[in-house]
Amino acid sequence: MMEEALKKYIEAGRIAKIVRDEGAKLIEAGRRLIDVCEHVERRTRELGAAPAFPCNISVNEVAAHYSPLVGDESTIPENAVVKLDVGVHVDGYIADTAVTVALDDRWNPLLEAVQEALSKALDAVKPGVRFAEIGRVIENTIRSRGFKPIVNLGGHSLARYTIHAGESIPNAYDPMTRGRFSAGKAYAIEPFGTNGSGLVYEGDIVAIYALVCTGLRRRLDNVSKKVLAAIRDRFKTLPFSERWLADVEPDIEKLRRSLRKLSRMGFLVRYPILIEKAKGIVAQFEHTIVITDDGEVIVTTS
């Protein structure tokens, strides 16, 4: 890995830690979700980086991908378990990190199980280790404390301007899982644990999109052309929120119709919210690691 790229990963991780911790301190009953996320995103920019994806703030049985929409008045409930998932990039080099805050101490054993799983997984990572073995470590740790890993969620490799770069690190052991950790790459390790079924499904709400294809030759209306041009220019292939395009098309219903149309036409991919199948409570913790060319494993968001 080039020295300059490594420096940018580490700087992204430094900023990600700051904004993650600041955001976590804002989590309290009655606070608007949008206020927490907009603080995280604003501070990321103030510190000289940019969000790698919209701040995710997922409550209780919602495991991931909830990010407030324009005008969202949702607030944090009493006694909630809140996941805060933050992405920061410096020149396209991404740090991805998450923390869970429980507003009721009875959920502390779940949080501790997932934190321990992440810690043990990070200790086990080195070049050549199979992804499946990290899944085994995560699953065994979470199950040993009486909870279940969410088996259809997992970590992933990272690349420049690409949040999911093609390799998956499972949260449960599967001997058929292929792939090994390699020098010169970055990975996000993110255990999810629950007192529910251990599976998630896609909900109806879509708050996050990403550009997947720029070469399609399709006839577009003027609003969609304008929105697509802004997406290409501002985000490249990184995920984004409708909140970040409200200045491009102030009529939010027109903007939403345009995003749905661009998705149907194949320009965009949608990321629906993910909900625990049995409505179990979900906890998540995540760090980004970078494996240098000499095999050193650096945790950028610790």
148-183 CB burial, b ≥16 within 10 A, e <16: bbbbbbbbbbbbbbbbebebbbbbbbeeebeeebeb
Identify the active-site residue in 96, 116, 139, 242: 96
Catalytic residue among 190, 242, 249, 276: 190
Check if CATH label 3.30.465.10 holds for domain 3-199+279-299: no
pLDDT at 1: 61
Return residue ranges of the chain for CATH 3.90.230.10.
3-199+279-299
pLDDT at 229: 94
Query: 280 is written with which tokens?
Result: 């179990």
Contact 242, 234 (CB under 8 A): no
Whether 116 shows a pLDDT value over 80: the answer reads yes
pLDDT computed for residue 293 by the predictor: 86
List the alpha helices (DSSP H) in the chain. 3-25, 33-46, 108-124, 131-144, 222-235, 252-264
CB 83 within 8 A of CB 282: yes
What pLDDT digit, counting tens, does each position of 28-76 carry? Answer: 999 999 999 999 999 999 999 999 999 999 999 999 999 999 999 999 9
* Residue of 41, 77, 79, 83 lying closest to 65 (CA atoms): 83
* 286 is annotated as an active-site residue: yes
DSSP string, 210-242: EE--S-------HHHHHHHHHHHHHHTTS-EEG
The active-site residue out of 11, 61, 116, 156 is 156
Residue 118 has phi, psi (to 5 degrees) of: -65, -45
CB 276 within 8 A of CB 63: yes
89 is catalytic: no
- Is pLDDT at 285 greater than 80 in this prediction? yes
Higher model confidence: residue 215 or residue 196? 196
For residues 87-97, average pLDDT: 97
Q: Domain 203-273: which CATH class?
A: mainly alpha
Q: Taking 90 as the threshold, does the pLDDT of residue 172 lie above it?
A: yes
Mapping DSSP to helix (H, G, I), strand (E, B) and coil, where does residue 70 land? coil
Mean pLDDT across 269-288: 98
**3 annotated active-site:** no
Looking at 116, 139, 249, 286, which residue is catalytic? Answer: 286
Mean pLDDT of 89-99: 97
pLDDT of residue 244: 98
Q: Known binder of ligand: residue 96?
A: yes
pTM comes to: 0.95
Which residues have CB under 8 Å from 16's CB, separation 6+? 44, 86, 87, 88, 95, 96, 97, 288, 300, 301
Average the pLDDT over 130-151 and give the result: 98
Q: What mean pLDDT is reported for the chain?
A: 96
In the structure, what pLDDT confidence band is assigned to residue 214 with cuts at 50, 70 and 90?
low
Active-site annotation holds for 28? no
d(CA 286, CA 191): 7
Tokens 């259809």 sit at which residue?
152
Cβ 172 vs Cβ 133: under 8 Å:
no
Q: Is 133 annotated as a binding residue?
A: no
What's the pLDDT at 38? 98
- Residue ranges matching CATH 1.10.10.10 in the chain: 203-273
Q: How far apart are CA 103 and CA 28, in angstroms?
A: 7
